[in-house]
């Protein structure tokens, strides 16, 4: 494939929480489409370095950055290292997230705080840091959830609330950044086969009957939606979102 056919050739992307699962699939797809890629991770150093090796094998610049997604200092440092190592930043993908399922009346404060701090506060922090560098025409894409629009089953009230917050944040920031033609969008996965929600996990039996397409999605299918929003064909799409949920929200 020649450089002219790569939609994201010359672009620099930062993806949070991307050592595995959906984040890793996004990193690979962006790199396949020509982007240089930085990823953050918290604990999975081995998987992060293995992914970086895959990205470099595609001929891309790539770097893995250890960062706590809820830390303002780590957010700023991750952005600055991305800019230093890749030469700039054009695309931010807010992928890092945590989910604790269970009865809200018994959910520990530590679990509530962690979901709020990573899924909401962390997105705010790194987006603010990234906007010091993202040029006009850049892209901000957050990984929301179908649960941010409607909650298909019990036990995820706090998680759903955090993803709902990203809906308003996306629309508000799209208004703010429109004059710079920086687009701000969401991708809303439904049940995707990952470590967080495996297709053979405890939730699967409850989820499968609600799907129009009776299977869990694959991380690569989410990555395809992200790459579309990151590309030139989505220059007029902002303040919006794509459901990748097998019809569970239909």
Active site residues: 159
Of the candidates 30, 39, 40, 38, the one whose C-alpha atom is nearest the C-alpha of residue 9 is: 30
Find tokens 């004059």 and name the residue.
Answer: 179
* Burial readout 60-82 (b: 16 or more C-beta within 10 A, e: otherwise): bbbbbbebbbbbeebbbbbbebb
Find tokens 């991305």 and name the residue.
Answer: 82
> Max alpha carbon distance in the chain (Å)?
56
Q: C-alpha distances in angstroms, 8 versus 70, 141, 224?
A: 29, 15, 13
Q: Specify the 3-state DSSP secondary structure of 144.
A: coil
């Amino acid at each position: 494939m020649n450089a002219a056919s790569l939609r994201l050739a010359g672009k620099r992307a930062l993806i949070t929480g991307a050592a595995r699962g959906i984040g890793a699939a996004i990193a690979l797809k962006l790199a396949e489409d020509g982007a240089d890629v930085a990823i953050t991770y918290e604990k999975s150093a081995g998987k992060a370095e293995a992914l970086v090796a895959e990205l470099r094998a595609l001929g891309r610049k790539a770097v893995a950055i250890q960062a706590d997604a809820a830390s303002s200092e780590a957010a700023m440092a991750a952005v600055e290292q991305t800019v230093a190592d890749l030469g700039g930043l054009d695309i931010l993908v807010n992928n890092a997230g945590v989910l604790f399922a269970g009865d809200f009346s018994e959910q520990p404060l530590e679990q509530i705080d962690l979901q709020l701090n990573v899924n909401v506060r962390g997105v705010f922090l790194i987006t603010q840091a990234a906007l010091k560098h993202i040029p006009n025409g850049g892209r901000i894409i957050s990984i929301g959830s179908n649960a941010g629009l409607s909650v298909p089953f019990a036990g995820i009230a706090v998680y759903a609330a955090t993803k709902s917050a990203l809906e308003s944040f996306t629309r508000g920031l799209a208004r703010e950044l429109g004059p710079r033609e920086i687009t701000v969008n969401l991708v809303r996965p439904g049940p995707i086969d990952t470590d967080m929600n495996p297709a053979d996990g405890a939730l699967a039996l409850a989820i499968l009957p609600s799907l129009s397409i009776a299977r869990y999605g694959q991380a690569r299918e989410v990555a395809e939606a992200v790459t579309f929003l990151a590309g030139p064909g989505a220059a007029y799409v902002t303040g919006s979102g794509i459901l990748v949920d097998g019809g569970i929200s239909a």
